[in-house]
A and B are shown apart, each in its own frame.
Chain A
């Protein structure tokens, strides 16, 4: 499969069994902490993430796999900060108007750390939560917004449809690519223009196929009684003791971060 980014890893750990709502809330709390962390906060967050990674039995390779797809992007951001930050010059890259500064190194490392942390947090969520539970959790969290006219259940169905379409389109893409290659299409050599033309030979059929599939799927959903609005589901989410414990741990963690900031 092409989609490796944070794919669900079946497991029986505490984190796997937490209510998806707790995990989503935890991710939402972590993000601002990561973005505003100062020296001591950085250490605290690293320790916390290391503990969670240990609890869910993620190997270093599995954690790295979550970051790898965007590694290029992270490197570019690091280099931009490294080379474009004003400050005390350590090394000047004449004749280019670029120089490496102490501030650049610090800033680059900090931003890189932030991105990696965010990716790891998101990956822990998706690696320990079934996509269907994730969608169920989002749906339940959005449900209070129904009063504002936000249809949480329709949003949940839309997300699961989108997730359902990814492997479907990927399979179709593979099929078309093989079919075109069998008829002599060449996607790997020649000028950019030639390659683009070769690619367009299956982009159009792929789009057509996606529209046809969407049509058929809509009809099949209708045939099974789907209509907008409230529906019930197989798994009703229920809070248990461990969910409250996890929330308490998260609250404590947030307070510790805020406390550290007060001291500093």
Chain B
């Protein structure tokens, strides 16, 4: 379980708070969607989940390990995978397989085990056969899939996706969403920042953020029933998902 308690964050003392008193828990196996207008702090929040950022006040813990405890950081980063918005700038390797092997290599695994994970993860995202390709020769969709495979190879328990369908064509978008659904079915805990609300209708829970704070936290039905509030912060509910006032 990931527990976020009374988390506040600012880049430095002169700037306003980016996150304000956020308390959330992400239970194991849940698929949580995180939505909200641009600049509301979604990305900043998930960067706290694997110790890329540290709270100015409050705390974040992963399976009981505090992210501020330096000795736990390595294990926390192994358990919480992070898929960033731009796949281009998270590809490290000079070939597809080398890139997937980067995380396991950092864990110091044996070459045979790395090989097994590379093959499994590339198969999972449907990229078998592209092992030797250079990343810059891949399409945008393939880069996205590669970034997912690279995180899966760490064998994480939780994965935070930051707008994974951004820049993708409809086919690529469906493929990525199908992978997320499959991971969830297999028991992965998913935290999914979405820009397009149609991407998150399948989530168990939706957390709506605005100006660094949690605005609504509930099931998709509960959240979409408050269309007026959503619209007031610039969000539109997806067609067919709304109830009650949303239909007006």
Contact = CB atoms under 8 A, between A and B. Distances in A.
B34 interface: no
Chain B interface, >50% SS class: helix
Interface residues of B, number: 41
Contact of A130 (B50, B95, B107): B95
A223 B86 contact: no
Contacts of A236: 111
B106 A227 contact: yes
A225 B102 CA distance: 9
B136 interface: yes
A163 B135 CA distance: 11
Contacts of A164: 91-94, 135
B134 A167 contact: yes
Interface in B89-116: 89-95, 97-98, 101-111, 114-115
Nearest to A167: B136
Interface stretch (B76-84, B182-190, B232-240): B76-84
A161 interface: yes
Contacts of A221: 92, 102
Interface residues of A, number: 31
Contacts of B103: 224-225
B151 interface: yes
Contact of A223 (B77, B94, B118, B134): B77
Interface string A224-256: 111100111111100000000000000000000
Interface of A: 10, 130-132, 135, 160-161, 163-164, 167-168, 171, 213, 216-217, 219-227, 230-236
Interface of B: 47, 50, 52, 74, 77-78, 81-82, 84, 86, 88-95, 97-98, 101-111, 114-115, 118, 132, 134-136, 150-151, 154
